[in-house]
């Protein structure tokens, strides 16, 4: 079944690239976008979505802080943190809160693998 993906990135180009990858992978899915943590939190409260990909290095809250807040509001949402900053501490913190770490620039293959796992988790939760 089609799901809705939340894309949070302060770069419009990065959001467009993620949207393009999503369209190629799952053309029937919906997407919602936010340019920062505040926008994302408002969206999370008002708009239904199933899975989220969050940029790490953003003004205000970083992706990890945002991920923790999203999980507090909507536990067990499949999440990925996206960054070129693959320092061990950041990757470990992402794993620690149950998020996947994806490398920037985000490619279709990596997004596809994450979404596949996310769909499996969502289907299992429903079963």
Partner 1 sequence: MSAMPPDLLSELQLDALTELVNIGVSRAAASLREMVGAQVHLSVPMVSLETRGRAIAILSEREASNLVAVHQVFEGDIAGRALLIFPETKSLELVRAITGGDLPLEDIIELEQEALAETGNILLNSCLATIANMLHRSLKMSLPEVLRGNAATFFSLAPPPEAGDFVMFLFINFAVRERDISGYIAMIMDLPSLTALVHLLDEFIERATGDAVSSGDDRA
Helix (H), strand (E) at residue 54: strand 51-55
The nearer residue to partner 1, 11 or 117, going by C-beta atoms, is 11
Q: Are 40 and 8 spatial neighbours (Cβ–Cβ below 8 Å)?
A: yes
17 near partner 1, judged by CB under 8 A: yes
- Of 7-15, 45-53, 63-71, 119-127, the segment contacting partner 1 by CB under 8 A is 7-15
Backbone phi, psi, residue 39, to 5°: -60, -40
Touching partner 1, residues 63-122 (CB under 8 A): 83-90, 104-105
The nearer residue to partner 1, 14 or 78, going by C-beta atoms, is 14
Judged by DSSP in three states, 45 sits in helix
Distances from the Cα of 26 to the Cα of 35, 74, 92, 118, angstroms: 22, 23, 29, 13
The nearer residue to partner 1, 51 or 90, going by C-beta atoms, is 90
Radius of gyration in angstroms for the set of CA atoms belonging to the chain, rounded to a whole number? 13
**Minimum distance of partner 1 from residue 29's CB (angstroms):** 16
The nearer residue to partner 1, 46 or 89, going by C-beta atoms, is 89
**Minimum distance of partner 1 from residue 124's CB (angstroms):** 33
Q: How many other β-carbons are positioned within 10 Å of the β-carbon of residue 68?
A: 16
Q: Which residues here bind partner 1, judged by CB under 8 A?
A: 10-14, 16-17, 19-20, 56-59, 83-90, 104-105
């Amino acid at each position: 079944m089609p799901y809705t993906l939340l894309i949070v990135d302060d770069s419009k180009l990065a959001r467009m690239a993620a949207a393009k990858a999503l369209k190629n992978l799952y053309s029937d899915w919906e997407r919602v976008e936010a340019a920062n943590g505040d926008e994302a939190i408002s969206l999370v409260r008002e708009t239904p979505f199933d899975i989220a990909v969050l940029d790490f290095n953003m003004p205000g809250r970083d992706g990890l802080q945002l991920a923790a807040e999203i999980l507090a509001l909507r536990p067990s949402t499949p999440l990925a943190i996206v960054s070129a900053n693959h320092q061990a501490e950041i990757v470990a913190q992402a794993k620690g809160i149950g998020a996947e770490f994806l490398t920037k620039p985000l490619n279709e293959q990596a997004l596809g693998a994450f979404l596949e796992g996310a769909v499996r988790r969502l289907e299992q939760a429903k079963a």
